[in-house]
Structure 1
Amino acid sequence: MALSPRLEFRQAQSLTLTPQLMQSIRLLQLSHLELNDFVEAELLRNPLLEREDGAEPGDAEPAQPPERSTEISAYEDTVDRGDRIQDATSIADGYDTAVENVFPDQGAQDQLVPSTRLDRNGASEGGEAPDIDQYVASRPVLGEHLEAQANMLLRTTADRLIARHLIDGLNEAGYLTLDIAALAEQLGAEVADIEAVLGVLQGCDPVGVFARTVPECLAIQLRDRDRLDPMMQALLDNIGLLAEHDMLGLMRAVGCDREDLTDMLAEIRQLDPKPGLAFDSGPVETVVPDVFVRRGNDGAWQVELNTEVLPRVLINRVYYATVSKLTRNPAEKAFLSDSLSTANWLTKSLDQRAQTILKVASEIVRQQDGFLTHGIAHLKPMTLRMVAETIDMHESTVSRVTANKYIATPRGLFEMKYFFTTAIASSDGGVDHSAEAVRHRIRQLIAAEVVTDVLSDDTIADMLKQEQGIDLARRTVAKYREAMNIPSSVIRRRQMKNLERMA
């Protein structure tokens, strides 16, 4: 067959992800905090966007821009107009006189209410006083706190240099992770000198920092309280027996009776095994629900969005029309057109995101009616595909919507991902069971144990099969038990016997 060039017409369909479509998809998986940060950045960048202050979109009337007798560029009117506003001090300097001579009441006002306005970086530019809610109390940093103490306790420059390296070697809990010998070789110092500096630093606040192990951390705190006697030191040396709940072996190793051991354990419980966490500088964020679920008057579940966390923005079209009439530069016209297009996309994407969250949450509530009514034992197995097929969406969309979203129910506050659990088949051919409900039942069985009847993993598996027809292997029961931080039956039996003897 001869090869020759030719023309062909083909008709095909394809989906192209535009940058705006990709951004809309990304908005779905943002939490309300991340979404508000994104919208705030758009408000600063786009002059046509403005935040809606508690009014309905149809009721908001954008402010009319001031009429100007001369033509101005769009860039000047949208970006530089704030820079052209002078405060009282600038005007007075232009007349080479004091502020009181130009504005007699300005001095008294400055003394009563400072005229400040925050820019995007939080700096004062003049205007209204900032809201106190814009400020948060600064928390001390562990490194700075310790370095200030080291500068007062250590006299020589060499010792302070060693102290800075030791402070840098602390983890977030306040434990020293550096190798002393390696640090001595790095600094060209003697190990004894570093140990001496370390001994001084171990007396810093918070007490217990610069320890290398948990027993050493507890020993530093007990020494500070003058409670580190030989018997307490023996207890710290055999703390592994305490972790194994071997109280009899611990009493033999320490050489004490039951009453002394009880008193020493009470003292240890008052100590802080991670003293450095008190100086954690990470922000504390409160979980705020995105969706509320309530029981209606008719007995049906009502699902509604938390409007307090949804950013609401408006497009100032009057401002756009006025400025575009005064614009002659093609680049400025393109800037205004792009700003209007971006503003339209953002408002549409925010509305679509809210409707999608509400749609997915409503389907979750519908399928998990048994959980909301009766509790975790009635939690049904549910997958992303089950929800996606019901509401006619793609599985990946449901996954993005449920990421970092929380739903408040009469049963408590849950992450949306909590309701998606794997199914465990029933041995009698009945309804499948949720893995979370099975874990809850295992927890209940173990909580009801007595010292004479501690359940093994095999016994728990047999009880689940007999009671509810749940066919689980022993290793699966062990996996669920370990995931809930529940020790084995041997350790649980030992714990119960020790508690019984200590009582």
Structure 2
Amino acid sequence: MNLAPRLDIRQSQSLVMTPQLQQAIKLLALSNLEVEGFIAEELERNPLLESAGGEDGDGGEPIVAVPVGGDPVPADELPAGGSDADPVFDGELALANVTDDSAADSIGSLDGGLGLNGVSGGGGVGEDGLDFDSFAGGELSLADHLMAQAGTAVAGADLFIAAHLIDQIDECGYLTASLLDVANRLGVALARVEAVLGVIQTFDPTGVGARNLSECLALQAKEADRYDPCMARLIDNLDLVARGQLAQLKRMCGVDDEDMADMIRELRSYDPKPGCRYGGEPSQAVVPDLFVARRGAGWAVEINAATLPRVLVNRAYYVELSGGSHDKASKTWLADCLTSANWLVKALDQRQRTIIKVASEIVKQQEAFFLHGVAHLRPLTLARVAEAIEMHESTVSRVTSNKYLSCARGLFELKFFFTSAIQSADGGEAVSAQAVKAAIRALIAGEGAKILSDDTLVELLNARGFDIARRTVAKYREALGIGSSVQRRRAKALEG
């Protein structure tokens, strides 16, 4: 056995994830708005990159439209209504007219030279479009609103106590701290803290500063001058109200059916979370990454160019910089900038092509949904789409993450179109879980005075051809935020 050291040559293959490849994969999973932020950072970092806006340039080859079962069509031969700079898909599908069933249907009819679904590719009004958020002023927080009232109601040490108590009020308007702990922390008498809290509980909104739901409703009843002994007993027994034990409540409050119904109606008019009217982060509108619209006998799928600025490589500036005398480090930096710029342009172009390819296949697979609604949504998996477009399943997963599609039926996340299958009771084609949920919602919405139990829902769904178990019905019902038959029966009794 030879133990002497020696040199050997071996040849092997391995997959290496370069930084550029890792960044390309990351770009694929980002939404258009996130890509826009990434491009803004690259524009600041790389002097050879520039935003082209809506002008033509050498920012890569144009995206092409791929008809179903046909050859690629050059971008300059796209059908009318498409965008020359953006990817468009026009599939020759024999489809009926889309039934108008949402507010978004009226948008598409206001085309007037705009992009798909009436959205301009240039951003709408002006260069950057009309920003409705600019009309909204800064929203006053609950703490600021309460402190403004405390400044006029108390002074001195009491104002300091009030400020501390206001800091302990959560976004719903409830005091989360113990008064005894506050008194010990500030070194004041408990009675003084209670007195200051009593002042805070007179502030707007009514019910703020309460320590529990009963106290919150009691404060609002006092403000409405409805806090009599009967209402006090009703508020003190909210657990019986929740269980719908009206007979026991009538005996405890000493009222008849008419008075009890009036008291419950009054109780329903109160706000259990008065603090939610103030503060909080403003709701952000979801910006679609894709538009889907009818084009003749087929569909058109378009990238939302308004949220995706075009990037070009300024080669003239590169020639100007490289023509001067530079040291080796400067030339290396300039070469790296050019490589990075070229890669980014190519990566963005490939990203658009991949997204359009995946979205087009989704439209083909779920054409019944776009025609007739959620009841006709078909079961679909990532693997099925990946096999159809000859891509890896992980690529399809990244493309469908954090991206939204706007169509005549509304705004949907791409993940929405991937649902599990429910077998048909008569051995026919499987249906989507979303279609079953829609059927459950429709059945419960139309149940009327006769409350449908889960067993009854199973029978009705089986009659419609859905082979589904009772536990699955209960799971779907809970996912829809619908209570059990017992809870719905109690709610009906309270409403009556």
Bucket of the pairwise TM-score, normalised by the shorter protein: 0.7 to 0.9
- How far has the Cα of 1:58 moved from its partner? 4.8
The verdict on how the C-alpha distance between 1:289 and 1:131 changes in structure 2, with shifts beyond 3 A counting, is closer
- Distance (Å, rounded) in 2 between the aligned partners of 1:454 and 1:281: 38
The verdict on how the C-alpha distance between 1:293 and 1:152 changes in structure 2, with shifts beyond 3 A counting, is same
Tell me, yes or no, if structure 1 residue 13 matches structure 2 residue 7: no
Tell me, yes or no, if structure 1 residue 153 matches structure 2 residue 150: no
Equivalent residue runs for 1:85-124 within 5 Å? none
Q: 414, 431, 435: which one pairs with 2:433?
A: 435
Tell me, yes or no, if structure 1 residue 378 matches structure 2 residue 376: yes
Equivalent residue runs for 1:291-330 within 5 Å? 291-298=290-297, 300-330=298-328
SS in 2 for 1:189: coil
Tell me, yes or no, if structure 1 residue 460 matches structure 2 residue 462: no
Q: 446, 470, 482: which one pairs with 2:478?
A: 482
Equivalent residue runs for 1:17-416 within 5 Å? 17-58=17-58, 137-157=137-157, 159-298=158-297, 300-416=298-414
Which one is further off, 1-10 or 363-372? 1-10
Would you say the 8 A contact 1:142–1:279 is kept in 2? yes
Would you say the 8 A contact 1:202–1:210 is kept in 2? yes
- Distance (Å, rounded) in 2 between the aligned partners of 1:372 and 1:131: 28
Q: What amino acid is the match of 1:347?
A: V
- Distance (Å, rounded) in 1 between the aligned partners of 2:253 and 2:4: 96
The verdict on how the C-alpha distance between 1:494 and 1:268 changes in structure 2, with shifts beyond 3 A counting, is closer
Would you say the 8 A contact 1:170–1:176 is kept in 2? yes
Would you say the 8 A contact 2:58–2:313 is kept in 1? no
Partner of 2:104: none
- Distance (Å, rounded) in 2 between the aligned partners of 1:396 and 1:199: 59
Greater relative contact order, per chain length (Cα 8 Å cut-off, separation 6+) = 2
Would you say the 8 A contact 2:217–2:267 is kept in 1? yes
- Distance (Å, rounded) in 2 between the aligned partners of 1:460 and 1:131: 49
- Distance (Å, rounded) in 2 between the aligned partners of 1:282 and 1:131: 23
The verdict on how the C-alpha distance between 1:221 and 1:37 changes in structure 2, with shifts beyond 3 A counting, is farther
Moved over 6 A (4+): none
- How far has the Cα of 1:399 moved from its partner? 1.7
Q: What amino acid is the match of 1:308?
A: A
Would you say the 8 A contact 1:439–1:480 is kept in 2? yes
- How far has the Cα of 1:166 moved from its partner? 2.0
Output the TM-score relative to the length of structure 1: 0.77
SS in 2 for 1:304: strand
Would you say the 8 A contact 2:59–2:312 is kept in 1? no
CA RMSD of aligned residues (A): 2.8
The verdict on how the C-alpha distance between 1:283 and 1:494 changes in structure 2, with shifts beyond 3 A counting, is closer
Report Cα offsets for 1:126-151 as digits up to 9, x if no partner.
Answer: xxxx9995956322222233233333
- Distance (Å, rounded) in 1 between the aligned partners of 2:272 and 2:416: 32
- How far has the Cα of 1:189 moved from its partner? 3.3
Q: What amino acid is the match of 1:489?
A: S
Would you say the 8 A contact 1:246–1:498 is kept in 2? no
Output the TM-score relative to the length of structure 2: 0.78
- Distance (Å, rounded) in 1 between the aligned partners of 2:494 and 2:438: 26
SS in 2 for 1:303: strand
- Distance (Å, rounded) in 2 between the aligned partners of 1:281 and 1:335: 46
- How far has the Cα of 1:420 moved from its partner? 1.1
Partner of 2:467: 471
- How far has the Cα of 1:418 moved from its partner? 0.8
- Distance (Å, rounded) in 2 between the aligned partners of 1:57 and 1:205: 58
The verdict on how the C-alpha distance between 1:247 and 1:338 changes in structure 2, with shifts beyond 3 A counting, is farther
- Distance (Å, rounded) in 2 between the aligned partners of 1:174 and 1:314: 52
- Distance (Å, rounded) in 1 between the aligned partners of 2:426 and 2:59: 60
Q: Flag structure 2 segments of 5+ consecutive residues without an equivalent.
A: 61-127
Partner of 1:113: none
Query: Rg larger in 1 or in 2?
Result: 1
Partner of 1:66: none
- Distance (Å, rounded) in 2 between the aligned partners of 1:332 and 1:277: 57
- Distance (Å, rounded) in 1 between the aligned partners of 2:349 and 2:45: 20
- How far has the Cα of 1:337 moved from its partner? 2.7
- How far has the Cα of 1:366 moved from its partner? 0.9
Partner of 2:424: 426
- Distance (Å, rounded) in 1 between the aligned partners of 2:408 and 2:251: 51
- Distance (Å, rounded) in 2 between the aligned partners of 1:204 and 1:493: 37
- Distance (Å, rounded) in 1 between the aligned partners of 2:340 and 2:142: 44
Partner of 1:105: none
- Distance (Å, rounded) in 2 between the aligned partners of 1:132 and 1:423: 43
- How far has the Cα of 1:269 moved from its partner? 4.1
Which one is further off, 360-369 or 143-152? 143-152
The verdict on how the C-alpha distance between 1:246 and 1:412 changes in structure 2, with shifts beyond 3 A counting, is farther
The verdict on how the C-alpha distance between 1:336 and 1:443 changes in structure 2, with shifts beyond 3 A counting, is same
- Distance (Å, rounded) in 2 between the aligned partners of 1:168 and 1:41: 38
- Distance (Å, rounded) in 1 between the aligned partners of 2:249 and 2:299: 55
Would you say the 8 A contact 1:380–1:433 is kept in 2? yes
Q: What amino acid is the match of 2:239?
A: G
Q: What amino acid is the match of 2:212?
A: T
Q: What amino acid is the match of 2:144?
A: E
SS in 2 for 1:52: strand
Would you say the 8 A contact 1:327–1:333 is kept in 2? no
Report Cα offsets for 1:199-234 as digits up to 9, x if no partner.
Answer: 122222333222222232222233233333333323
The verdict on how the C-alpha distance between 1:485 and 1:17 changes in structure 2, with shifts beyond 3 A counting, is same
- How far has the Cα of 1:247 moved from its partner? 4.3
Would you say the 8 A contact 1:425–1:431 is kept in 2? yes
Would you say the 8 A contact 2:142–2:279 is kept in 1? yes
SS in 1 for 2:464: helix
